[in-house]
A and B are shown apart, each in its own frame.
Chain A
């Protein structure tokens, strides 16, 4: 039983933070978002190939790919801190979908075509986007070389040229979104049946967890911005941060945040174990393990819990952060809104609040014995 991250995991997160503080600094985001009065942001959603190249230099796209294909051979629990940093920076590129969902999916997929794409995706030479039926749009589709798409129990890899994209503008100008029209074909199929279903379940769980992790980073960023502002802005001859009403707003956010955090980390740890079970079973046997209802129920409960709690923290951080800024908070001029909007956007992605809430309710109240869902599960007689 251990809840501490290793020195290596922390160093990796620090390296990502330092890089993003530079290449995705608020001023950079602001420039990418374009003039305030524009109706919508840049067509590329701020996606920047040069910044992608810097992410590739750190080895981030291949973090979850095996070493034999040139990846770092790491696990979801290693990636979760990186996803948190991505959130803190409101990174425009879809790094977490590419590295946190698509790459491990290809790595776990038995189809030879998956392996061919995996090597290049791990190296960041090609970019992947992931379209899940629960998401209204696909993030990063325009900049991608191929899309991972789901149809029933089937997983398809569709080259971007073979799909029709329709750009969709978001309140978060730094998200490049599109809807995708495509035709499933034998040539696009990566996996179906039990294997496909298992890969889909894992992809969805990963999507929810990496988004929850981003929400933690976002919440922390928004609290920091608000606290800094409240320490300098003066009214009635004192810094506004000395007023208790504002202190209590921020304390409430901090409580939400610090209790969401261990749930997100636990979800990532459980996800890593579950994924290891799937891949060690390779193919059909793995799929059986993956669909073992008790295991899956336990994973799903903590994943939904993580998504719900982390999004609630980010949502509250945004709301209270805006309030703390007064009219300044409602202006384009402060940086806060870039992060607020990202939190709004993530709230609806990879299962919105209602979806995760319903799933959690049915697991906890209608399904298996609650004890079996306990995150720190232990055998009992």
Chain B
């Protein structure tokens, strides 16, 4: 073998199968925003429809509702998914982040309990790591889990949990050793959100939708069996989850290639008003989306050959978040005087949903670990610069 960029007949057949299903099933009308209650419910219904076609999470083993696909097939799936204009994934925190983590660190019982309903779209997951005093400095976590018999009693305050308002479950890290500090003494625990002692309060985002939430744990009791991995192993497991998040799964290249394609169309529609700067930006968007796809295929084939994702996941996070911003900035300048209009404004015909994307793009360099933190990681752990 060598670098060769062709799909096998089996991969092409798989692509055709995904395409046919998507063409027949993707909702014709754009769903309401995933960040609002009504839209979230529509997206959950779509998750279930996907699962009905066994497309919930194609890389998982069949016993958990997957198809045992390779990562390259997953990329093909994603390409067809975004090509068809399918909705965003309501359960992305579950399927892309917790799922792979469970696969690696979960007991057989935990996998059997949590993975099938996740793939089926029956249980929606939120991530509960950040706290008011623990953002970039995540090891400053204060929320505690105190062992009482076969239970943990949870106390503390989590915040910025994406779609926490609508989710059924959350995974988080809690301090199980009260004498510990920093990365030690933390444990990774799964908590039902509609549960005694758990109070969820939505937080409106920049666009006004209640897209994230704070979660108060007021002596919420969960079984010790809800702990993923060993007691005190929470940090390492969370870092593995973060690796999936930044490195591969959370933002598949197809999503950005689809945006780059739409940006090209927007450019052609507005070419008469565009200047050389925008023109250059649109071409660059295409190139960078391709580069991101190529880089992801490189990572996928490396993982398939037995490799691992290390600190270089941070390179990805920076690249896709800045690419997303740049693409939407180009779109905003192409829309010019109409860029500010909300999609339902009468004069907004044809502006599409660029504004929504532009707003969301602002958060890319912040969530999943800010880009400043990613740069620290690259400098120290990829390049070996002194701490």
**A330 interfacial by beta-carbon distance below 8 Å:** no
Contacting A at CB under 8 A, from B68-83, are: 72, 83
Instruction: Tell me the bound Cα distance from A231 to B385 in angstroms.
Output: 6
Q: Closest CB-CB distance, A293 to chain B, in whole Å?
A: 18
List chain B residues, Cβ under 8 A from A357.
280, 283
**A259 interfacial by beta-carbon distance below 8 Å:** yes
List chain B residues, Cβ under 8 A from A36.
none
- Among A77, A239, A244, A258, the residue within 8 A (CB) of B295 is A258
Chain B interface residue number, banded: 35 or more
B12 touches A258 (CB 8 A): no
**B85 interfacial by beta-carbon distance below 8 Å:** no
**B21 interfacial by beta-carbon distance below 8 Å:** no
List chain A residues, Cβ under 8 A from B292.
259
**B344 interfacial by beta-carbon distance below 8 Å:** no
B286 touches A269 (CB 8 A): no
Mark each residue of chain B from 289 to 309: 1 if its CB lies under 8 Å from any CB of chain A, else 0: 011111101101110010000
Instruction: Tell me the bound Cα distance from A265 to B6 in angstroms.
Output: 14
A77 touches B282 (CB 8 A): no
- Among B271, B305, B383, the residue within 8 A (CB) of A227 is B383
Name the CB-closest residue of B to A360: B283
Contacting A at CB under 8 A, from B3-53, are: 3-8, 11-12, 15, 19
Mark each residue of chain A from 210 to 246: 1 if its CB lies under 8 Å from any CB of chain B, else 0: 0000000000000100010011000000110110101
Stretch at the interface among B201-209, B210-218, B311-319: B311-319
**A6 interfacial by beta-carbon distance below 8 Å:** yes
A/B pair count, beta carbons within 8 Å: 173
- Among A4, A238, A246, A370, the residue within 8 A (CB) of B305 is A4
B257 touches A77 (CB 8 A): no
**A263 interfacial by beta-carbon distance below 8 Å:** yes
**B380 interfacial by beta-carbon distance below 8 Å:** yes
Q: Is the interface of A mostly helix, strand, loop or mixed?
A: helix
A365 touches B385 (CB 8 A): no
Name the CB-closest residue of A to B293: A376
List chain B residues, Cβ under 8 A from A260.
291
Mark each residue of chain B from 61 to 99: 1 if its CB lies under 8 Å from any CB of chain A, else 0: 000000000001000000000010000000000000000
A381 touches B19 (CB 8 A): yes
List chain A residues, Cβ under 8 A from B301.
1-4
Name the CB-closest residue of A to B323: A259
Q: Quick one: which of B282, B301, B382, B383 has the most chain A CB within 10 A?
A: B383
List chain A residues, Cβ under 8 A from B83.
380
Instruction: Tell me the bound Cα distance from A23 to B72 in angstroms.
Output: 42
Mark each residue of chain A from 121 to 155: 1 if its CB lies under 8 Å from any CB of chain B, else 0: 00000000000000000000000000000000000
**A250 interfacial by beta-carbon distance below 8 Å:** yes
**B267 interfacial by beta-carbon distance below 8 Å:** yes
Name the CB-closest residue of B to A253: B383
Instruction: Tell me the bound Cα distance from A251 to B282 in angstroms.
Output: 25
A365 touches B291 (CB 8 A): no
Q: Closest CB-CB distance, B268 to chain A, in whole Å?
A: 7
**A199 interfacial by beta-carbon distance below 8 Å:** no
A251 touches B374 (CB 8 A): yes
**A248 interfacial by beta-carbon distance below 8 Å:** yes
List chain A residues, Cβ under 8 A from B385.
227, 230-231, 241-242, 246-247, 250
Contacting B at CB under 8 A, from A305-321, are: 305, 308-309
Q: A380 with B375: in contact, given A2-B4, A365-B283, A375-B5 (CB under 8 Å)?
A: no
**A57 interfacial by beta-carbon distance below 8 Å:** no
Minimum-distance CB pairs A-B, first 4: A247-B379, A262-B294, A251-B375, A251-B378
6 A-B contact pairs sorted by A residue (CB < 8 Å): A3-B3, A3-B5, A247-B380, A254-B315, A364-B283, A376-B5
